[in-house]
Structure 1
Amino acid sequence: MPSEKSSAGSNTEIQNASIQVEPPAKKESSDGFYDNEVLNGDTIEAPKRGLLGYLTIYLLCYPVSFGGFLPGWDSGITAGFINMDNFKMNFGSYKHSTGEYYLSNVRMGLLVAMFSIGCSLGGVAFARLADTLGRRLAIVIVVLVYMVGAIIQISSNHKWYQYFVGKIIYGLGAGGCSVLCPMLLSEIAPKDLRGGLVSLFQLNVTFGIFLGYCSVYGTRKYDNTAQWRIPVGLCFLWALIIIIGMLLVPESPRYLIERGKNEEARISIAKINMVSPEDPWVHRQAEEIIVGVVAQREQGEASWKDLFSVKTKVLQRLITGILIQTFLQLTGENYFFFYGTTIFKSVGLTDGFETSIILGTVNFFSTIIAVMVVDKIGRRKCLLFGAAAMMACMVIFASIGVKCLYPHGQNAPSSKGAGNAMIVFTCFYIFCFASTWAPVAYIVVAESFPSKVKSKGMSISTAFNWLWQFLIGFFTPFITGSIHFYYGYVFVGCLVAMFLYVFFFLPETIGLSLEEIQLLYEEGVKPWKSASWVPPSKRGGSSEKIETQKKGWKKLLKFPKSPDQALSVHNLTE
């Protein structure tokens, strides 16, 4: 590797260099994916894509989004491990009065929480690699760390502390993925598809949870360590998929331009959009990124204190990122999964593994809806609807649990009718969560920060997500054992706060490029008016054109042909 001195000198040369963009060449022929048009004046229309174009973009981005599978897989298999006899025999305590092995509340809480601690530290520790080595190589490194943690876990035998150490290291890698993968997705995705492509990360989280449930369901009848070692061993297959995928995915054009590799940046933009690097639209996209990079260089080298800058509105975005990621855990989603077995037992489903698969199925298919609609209805509407709907579900769920589930006391038979009603609202709640907050929280964090401090801002924000997951995972067994279903009312209060915060402080960013989002924040647009904000490059004469294109809500049902059309549709239907 180059020395620090030479690296510093290189950076200085890049900063002082005059960045030149070659004049766009005329396109000689169509590539079969798009049909480009150059409008009168300087406005260049974005590529129009057909079904093959959409499919290609999603396939290129999928290996990056698969990083979400790693934390999801751990959640799925851990939920099964705590009920496995061989796992409890290896890492639990022996109760002489019953002659059985068990996991104490403390050890069970730590089993879940240690992974979250590792994720929190990993996101902060490895985010720096994205700025120094590039997004793709950084992802490969954190996946290798993840594999080391899996090796330590799978080799554990009757030593619970060894398993927990492996769990922390395992979490370091998964936590790094939770920052780096959404970061890369947000930087390579076309702006009109950015929400859906970043949502793929959360879709893979739910896919990992679902397959994790299925895995432990399939191994639950083994009477040896294969019960839990097979699911842990499958981690190596998931890691290998990501590493191979990084060979196919283009590097972030913003990272490349920051390193002075302008030509490689154009190739990256062209590859993800399936057009020629000499296409005029590609040159225009590169110019916009260069302008943003130069503007940030003029502010000096990035440092941690830049996160607290009020002038550049970074502090406001950091607070938003932290709170959105905190609220993601305070929705109460993990509370539902914790109490799922108890609720389903009340209507005759006594197999906890079957319960998990039912909840995991609802979770997975609901997230698919988010991928399809988030770039059509916007971030604010998703979050506001999700908070309101989850609040209604939680009030009903908690009230039935407190008043109706055990009409004759906790030791008496439960009410089957009340149990059925709670199952319905459990599934509807998970639908509302998975189709709104679960993916959109990652989108908001991934697209809010300027590239200069993006790795730092995302790592801090995501760390709070894992910190709260640790707190909820560790303390929930104690809280629910004390106040039972009254715990749901705590989350109701959190959901009210979430709704109010989103309405008053979170701007709409649908259809905007990352550079345009920066301008949105700098202009100080009121969040509740941000949906009608138009970037400076599209003001003036374009407003007359937009005015003549109003076609009502039916236009939302069609896939937009270009990022500019996606923005126009959203503005017109507000």
Structure 2
Amino acid sequence: MAPVPLKAVPTNRNAIVLAVFVAFGGFLFGYDIGVISGCLIMPDFIDRFGTLDHATGKMVLDSSRQSIITSLLSAGTFVGALAQAFTSDRFGRRGSILFWSAIFTVGTAIQTGTARSIVQITIGRFIAGLGVGAMSAIVPLYNGETAPKAIRGFLLVMYQLQIIIGIFISYIIDLGTHTINGSASWRIPVGLQMLWGLILLSGIFFLPESPRHLLGNGREAEARRVVAALNGVPEDDPLVAEVVDELEYGIRAENEGGKATWMECFSTRNVLWKRTMNGMMLQFIQQLNGQNFYYYYGDTFFKSAGTTLSPYVIQTILGAVSVVGTVPALYLIDTWGRRKSLLTGSILEAICSLIAGLVGHFTLAAPDTPQSQLTSRNKKGGDTIIAFAVLHVFSFSMFWGPTPWVYLGESFPLRVRPKAIALGSATNWIWNFLLSFFAPRIANDIGPLILLIFFGMLVVGFVYVYFFIPETKGLTLEEVDEMYRAGVKPWKSEGWRPHLMEGHHHVSEKPERDGSEKQATEMAENASADRVV
């Protein structure tokens, strides 16, 4: 028999405070990604961390130093995303947010206080990256375990949107400070991150511990108080008992047969290997869409395009476009579906990369060409690149930006979900690191033709999605599990209908594929094991 649906959750102060701080974790994440691109072309930053070009007698920040300064953050995020798995169990979700917020703040302080040492600023970025990577995993985990069901989807959307807003705000601050003489031009935007870290640290006085973590450690009375407070009901309300029962059920399912191992994510049971690989591949392709090239090195790239617009203005425009592009994604993800969003995004972004790459290769002047020597052809080429960069970033924000994360969160049974999602997230960060490390070196050698590499990856992405990624729109986690086990072809998955009954968590007693009692029992057990908590 299907359980009675939970009643509507009233809005209350605790839930609102939770929403604010969960969203702010995304803002901090996005701001840190975006702030460095503007600093790379600030005169004082170049003078302090660049090298002397003996031909011109000027200080320059070559591609090697750019890649080291930028990529060390991504290296830290990869390590932090894995390390948080230990702290969130040992110290709790709330304590882990406190710990990694402090690590991030320390890393930011090291960067802000550096004088002329490239070693110090890269170490600071690595340490800050540890905090960013850890919180990028902990904050959604905390959200999923703590938020009332009535606002859980809202918080997930808010978190993703705040990442983009963080990037946008970092561009605005870079725009506002880049004309300041001296080190304040870059110390202000970098140092502001200490304030963001302290704001998140202050959340420790408002945020409750995750009720799931409390129950896992035998602290049931505390868990009941937290659930009641977050849902705005008394402790003896039936809603509290139902939520606690669901949490306990999920914990038992997760621990049944011992803790899941990392290798279990690649087992043949329930086709887990294919689901894990799909999650990792989507994250890999997402990083090589080309948008991060604009985020990290857009200012430097547009400066060489010879446009009369300030590269800071262009980067700010790109940030605004990202925010605007994310809004329709909230509608399209559940109307068009996952497959159509990814396929459409691949086509649009591939066209943008192809045109911008070829136009840039055949029309742009050599780097560092004085403005007075640029021809109208050079300037038109630069304007064309900027126009298609804007379209590229807009398309990414609508399709490939949010969709791989949504897919990652709904493709795995409860038992292996934390580890499978961690593998997908780690894939995202390692390729983020490789891109930020090698992209300036490659662009230095081949210029705008680097965009053709992203064009090729988008073609690969289209083919991979068409042949390997099934549609999961409108399916429960149990039904996603059944679809994979049934071997449904991805290109036929949109028309597939599950054999599970309409009732939540209810399973057909006589599966059409095989009426045996054994299979019906197995389906029921698998559905129960995948129950959402």
What's the TM-score once normalised by structure 2's chain length?
0.81
Asked if structure 1 preserves the Cα contact closer than 8 Å seen for 2:37 and 2:298, the reply is no
| Alignment partners' CA distance in 2, 1:450 and 1:539 | 15
Deviations 1:426-452 (A, max 9, x none): 222211111222223233334444454
Q: How does 1:445-524 map to 2 (within 5 A)?
A: 445-510=408-473
Q: How does 1:64-75 map to 2 (within 5 A)?
A: 64-75=22-33
Uncovered stretches (5+) of structure 2, i.e. residues with no partner: 509-533
Match of 2:314 among 312, 333, 355: 355
The aligned amino acid for 1:323 is M
Change (3 A) 1:275 1:508: farther
Q: How does 1:215-294 map to 2 (within 5 A)?
A: 215-262=173-220, 264-265=222-223, 267-275=225-233, 278-280=236-238, 283-294=241-252
Q: Secondary structure at the match of 2:59?
A: strand
Deviations 1:19-47 (A, max 9, x none): xxxxxxxxxxxxxxxxxxxxxx8552343
| Alignment partners' CA distance in 1, 2:166 and 2:506 | 48
Asked if structure 2 preserves the Cα contact closer than 8 Å seen for 1:122 and 1:176, the reply is yes
Count of residues in Structure 1 that have an aligned counterpart in Structure 2: 499
Change (3 A) 1:508 1:266: farther
Deviation at 1:165, TM superposition (A): 1.0
Deviation at 1:189, TM superposition (A): 4.9
Change (3 A) 1:537 1:138: farther
1:529 has 2:514 as partner: no
The aligned amino acid for 1:332 is G
Deviations 1:57-96 (A, max 9, x none): 6763331232222332223221111111211222221234
Deviations 1:296-336 (A, max 9, x none): 32221233333333215443333223212211211111234
Change (3 A) 1:312 1:251: farther
Identity %: 34
Asked if structure 1 preserves the Cα contact closer than 8 Å seen for 2:38 and 2:299, the reply is no
Deviations 1:445-477 (A, max 9, x none): 344444544443333322221221222112222
Asked if structure 2 preserves the Cα contact closer than 8 Å seen for 1:146 and 1:170, the reply is yes
**Aligned counterpart, 2:343:** 384
1:47 has 2:4 as partner: no
**Aligned counterpart, 1:538:** 503
**Aligned counterpart, 2:329:** 370
Change (3 A) 1:540 1:365: closer
| Alignment partners' CA distance in 1, 2:475 and 2:187 | 46
Q: Secondary structure at the match of 2:260?
A: coil
Deviation at 1:354, TM superposition (A): 1.4
**Aligned counterpart, 1:33:** none
**Aligned counterpart, 1:28:** none
Asked if structure 1 preserves the Cα contact closer than 8 Å seen for 2:89 and 2:213, the reply is yes
Q: Secondary structure at the match of 1:349?
A: coil
The aligned amino acid for 2:346 is A
Greater Cα offset, 315-324 or 182-191: 182-191
Deviation at 1:346, TM superposition (A): 5.2
Q: Secondary structure at the match of 1:234?
A: helix
Q: How does 1:391-470 map to 2 (within 5 A)?
A: 391-402=350-361, 413-415=375-377, 416-470=379-433
Deviations 1:181-235 (A, max 9, x none): 2222334456686555323333222222212122222222222222222222211
Match of 2:122 among 157, 164, 180: 164
What's the TM-score once normalised by structure 1's chain length?
0.76
Q: Secondary structure at the match of 1:101?
A: strand
Q: Secondary structure at the match of 1:300?
A: coil
Greater Cα offset, 368-377 or 100-109: 368-377
Asked if structure 2 preserves the Cα contact closer than 8 Å seen for 1:321 and 1:444, the reply is yes
| Alignment partners' CA distance in 2, 1:493 and 1:344 | 25
Asked if structure 2 preserves the Cα contact closer than 8 Å seen for 1:196 and 1:372, the reply is no
Asked if structure 2 preserves the Cα contact closer than 8 Å seen for 1:191 and 1:512, the reply is no
| Alignment partners' CA distance in 2, 1:302 and 1:293 | 12
Match of 2:172 among 214, 219, 224: 214
Asked if structure 1 preserves the Cα contact closer than 8 Å seen for 2:323 and 2:397, the reply is yes
**Aligned counterpart, 1:105:** 63
The aligned amino acid for 2:341 is C
Deviation at 1:166, TM superposition (A): 1.2
Deviation at 1:341, TM superposition (A): 5.7
Match of 2:113 among 155, 159, 175: 155
Asked if structure 1 preserves the Cα contact closer than 8 Å seen for 2:8 and 2:150, the reply is no
Change (3 A) 1:250 1:148: same
Asked if structure 2 preserves the Cα contact closer than 8 Å seen for 1:89 and 1:101, the reply is yes
The aligned amino acid for 1:457 is A
Deviation at 1:541, TM superposition (A): 10
Asked if structure 1 preserves the Cα contact closer than 8 Å seen for 2:2 and 2:506, the reply is no
Match of 2:161 among 203, 222, 239: 203
Deviation at 1:397, TM superposition (A): 3.0
The aligned amino acid for 1:533 is P
Two-structure CA RMSD over aligned residues (Å): 3.5
